[in-house]
Amino acid sequence: METVKRTKIKALLASEPGVEVLAKGWVRTKRGNKQVKFIALNDGSTINNIQIVANTENFDEELLKRVTTGASLAVKGQLVASVGSGQAVEIQATEIEVLGDCDPMRFPLQKKDTTLEYLRSVAHMRLRTNTFGAVLRIRNAMAYAIHTFFNQKGFVYLHTPLITESDAEGAGDMFQVTTLDLKNIPLDKKGNVDFSKDFFGKKTSLTVSGQLEGELGATAVGEIYTFGPTFRAENSNTPRHLAEFWMIEPEMAFYDLKDNMELAEEFVKYLVKYALDNCMDDLKFLNDKYDDGLIERMQGVIGIPFQHVTYTQAVEILENAVANGVKFEYPVHWGTDFQSEHERYLVEKHFQKPVILTDFPKDIKAFYMKQNEDGRTVRGMDVLFPKIGEIIGGSEREASLEKLEARIEELGMSRKNLEWYIDTRRYGTVPHSGFGLGFERLLLFVTGMANIRDVIPFPRTPKNAEF
């Protein structure tokens, strides 16, 4: 077998016929008759299968019986022009080796449609479906495009810690990290947990955001981005929230809110265009199977400037909508945080394009956002997308030491764990801005999947950390 070097199926499908080839992969289907068997083989390099043609007279009957859905094969043969429709080339097999049998009775991924929900409980099969092959390849392409985008702009990839003693910003509930014996917790004189006995000598958690550390990076090397796992003990069992997700957080010195908005728009457009340019086979599959508006929606987003609107203007639009009979589950008035139904109304019904919301009431946003002159709003920005709602959250940061300290005071936050951060405003403070893109929210948008659990290989959600 190994006298010929193995070629991946993606490359085989793009090759000229007339050569001897070796393919390896898993059987998707087998059909045919007494004389000839047609085997659809897939190796994950592309959504497309290569067709293997096996004349039964050349192969042992027992061997061909072992060629079942899910079994792994090595196939040597001649790459020939295909007479059947649907593919340009196929392999006329001369040698077939079954690398791994797959008991058809125990491999439920037959032709019958298996639900996404069911698949989440069968890890090995889930990833081998067409759907997850497509999702995983798009996920990989997006990760690559993110690094490419920022590296072309000279941003430094900054690795921020996953274990932290700061609670970032109250961005979300945190998972505590401890080596204390939970059956025998040390207490101090007041009866509180004595964290000085814990591994780090203090209370620590998994990070909810790398931003605060990111600001230190930006005020040192200018422009940074983080790209790593983020954890939030969100007990909200929604199709848009995970307990462990990936986030991209660029942070830029000398950027004001306008620069920040421009970068965010250029960034998401670049990513969506990259997917359209490089993942079309997978997108077509997902478009046909799950969401027939997917490709059109993606093309729509890259084709037009995003709508800019302040929070205050958006509240007026939403209040008008309510006055005209639009029904929302949650009430909306100045001072409330928008729910995704409000965000989607603005994007899908009112403006019919992506929206960048800015200048939020300070009480619904984090302490570090730059305060506006009006004393009630801050220079935050949320990028809202069709079908998703918020995909990016960011802001210009408060650069003034006095104002930042006053806000921390006003909110009654503990300064003890924040002095290292406040120092950036003491020693050569600069205007700076940044934002966070939820990687899986982006993937929802570029795959058309409806549930965030289905765009990450091993989802973590309340009561579920399997595999």
User: In the complex, which residues of this chain contact ligand ATP (CB under 6 A)?
Assistant: 171-172, 232, 234, 241-242, 245, 247, 390-393, 436, 438, 440-441
Locate 448 and state its tokens: 């058309």
Q: Between residues 26 and 245, which has the closer beta carbon with respect to ligand ATP?
A: 245
> Can you list the alpha helix ranges (DSSP code H) found in 153-279?
211-221, 257-278
Q: Least distance from C-beta 379 to ligand ATP, angstroms?
A: 14
d(CA 118, CA 126): 9
Q: Least distance from C-beta 422 to ligand ATP, angstroms?
A: 21
Q: Between residues 165 and 234, which has the closer beta carbon with respect to ligand ATP?
A: 234
Q: Are the beta carbons of 41 and 75 closer than 8 angstroms?
A: yes
Distances (CA, A) of 421 to 216, 249, 262, 331: 7, 17, 26, 36
Q: Between residues 73 and 135, which has the closer beta carbon with respect to ligand ATP?
A: 135
The amino acid at residue 356 is I
Q: Least distance from C-beta 168 to ligand ATP, angstroms?
A: 9
Helix, coil or strand: residue 15: coil
d(CA 354, CA 384): 6
Q: Least distance from C-beta 120 to ligand ATP, angstroms?
A: 16
d(CA 138, CA 454): 12
* Residues whose CB falls within 8 Å of the CB of residue 14, separated by 6 or more in sequence, listed in order: none
Q: Between residues 102 and 171, which has the closer beta carbon with respect to ligand ATP?
A: 171
Residues in the chain: 467
Q: Between residues 195 and 245, which has the closer beta carbon with respect to ligand ATP?
A: 245
* Residues whose CB falls within 8 Å of the CB of residue 229, separated by 6 or more in sequence, listed in order: 162, 244, 245, 246, 247
Q: Between residues 172 and 217, which has the closer beta carbon with respect to ligand ATP?
A: 172
d(CA 413, CA 417): 10
* Residues whose CB falls within 8 Å of the CB of residue 322, separated by 6 or more in sequence, listed in order: 328, 332
Closest CA to 426 of 166, 216, 159: 216
Q: Least distance from C-beta 204 to ligand ATP, angstroms?
A: 20
130-152 helix and 439-447 helix, angle to the nearest 10 degrees:
120
* Residues whose CB falls within 8 Å of the CB of residue 184, separated by 6 or more in sequence, listed in order: none
Q: Least distance from C-beta 304 to ligand ATP, angstroms?
A: 21
Q: Between residues 70 and 436, which has the closer beta carbon with respect to ligand ATP?
A: 436
Q: Between residues 196 and 235, which has the closer beta carbon with respect to ligand ATP?
A: 235
Q: Least distance from C-beta 279 to ligand ATP, angstroms?
A: 20
Q: Between residues 55 and 235, which has the closer beta carbon with respect to ligand ATP?
A: 235
In the bound state, the residue with its beta carbon closest to ligand ATP is 438
Q: Between residues 155 and 435, which has the closer beta carbon with respect to ligand ATP?
A: 435
Q: Least distance from C-beta 339 to ligand ATP, angstroms?
A: 9
* Residues whose CB falls within 8 Å of the CB of residue 272, separated by 6 or more in sequence, listed in order: 298, 301, 302, 445, 446
At which residue do the structure tokens 């290989």 appear?
Answer: 457
Locate 378 and state its tokens: 């801050």
Locate 126 and state its tokens: 């889930």
Q: Between residues 194 and 244, which has the closer beta carbon with respect to ligand ATP?
A: 244
d(CA 266, CA 241): 25
Q: Least distance from C-beta 308 to ligand ATP, angstroms?
A: 17
At which residue do the structure tokens 């949320």 appear?
Answer: 382
Q: Least distance from C-beta 79 to ligand ATP, angstroms?
A: 44
Q: Least distance from C-beta 245 to ligand ATP, angstroms?
A: 4
